[in-house]
């Protein structure tokens, strides 16, 4: 199973209930293809950078999906045939997650463990600035 991030922009003419219903529909499509929606982020209505289909605003939704290529292909097909979806993009993020986990592990291994004691922090005073001989 691979991880994907799918972002879509829905038309502002949709009501909140219609948008929730569509997200539920996409969720059932993903589950029917043996995938899983890990996270749903509804960013709400935001203004667009430029007009799309005569609209200046749209509902932004971000889905994090675990599945294979067939699952994402079906989700994208549903986006294409739905008139209220103005734009969408799907990005595979599992390689980025692996890379960031590897970097975090290397940082933890490299960084020495330092213990912080509040008493030593209070007693230390900054060194006085040296005056120049001019």
Q: Is residue 11 part of a domain?
A: yes
pTM above 0.75, yes or no: no
Contacts of residue 129, Cβ cutoff 8 Å, sequence gap at least 6:
none
Residue 46 lies in a domain: yes
DSSP state of 132: P
Q: Average pLDDT for residues 101-129, to the nearest whole number?
A: 68
Instruction: Give domain status of residue 84, yes or no.
Output: yes
Give me the domain span that covers residue 38.
2-96
- Check if the beta carbon of residue 65 is closer than 8 Å to that of residue 38: yes
Q: What is the CATH number of the domain that holds 59?
A: 3.30.70.60
Q: Which residue has the higher pLDDT, 109 or 75?
A: 75
pLDDT digits over 41-95, tens only? 999 999 999 999 999 999 999 999 999 999 999 999 999 999 999 999 999 988 7
Spatial contact of 77 and 6, defined as CB atoms under 8 Å apart: no
Intra-chain end-to-end CA distance of the chain, in Å = 70
Structure tokens, 119? 């008493």
Residue 104 included in any domain: no
Quote the CA–CA distance of 53 and 51 in Å, as a whole number.
6
Overall number of domains in the chain = 1
């Amino acid at each position: 199973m691979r991880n994907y991030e799918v972002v879509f922009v829905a038309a502002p003419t949709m009501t909140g209930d219609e948008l929730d219903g569509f997200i539920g529909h996409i969720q059932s499509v993903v589950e029917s293809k043996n995938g899983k929606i890990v996270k749903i982020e509804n960013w709400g209505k935001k203004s667009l950078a430029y007009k799309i289909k005569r609209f200046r605003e749209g509902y932004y939704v971000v889905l994090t999906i675990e599945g294979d290529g067939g699952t994402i292909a079906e989700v994208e097909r549903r986006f294409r045939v739905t008139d209220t979806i103005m734009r969408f993009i799907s990005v595979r993020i599992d390689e980025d997650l692996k890379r960031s986990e590897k970097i975090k592990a290397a940082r933890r291994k490299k960084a020495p463990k330092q213990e912080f004691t509040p008493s030593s922090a209070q007693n230390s005073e900054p060194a006085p600035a040296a005056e120049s001989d001019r």
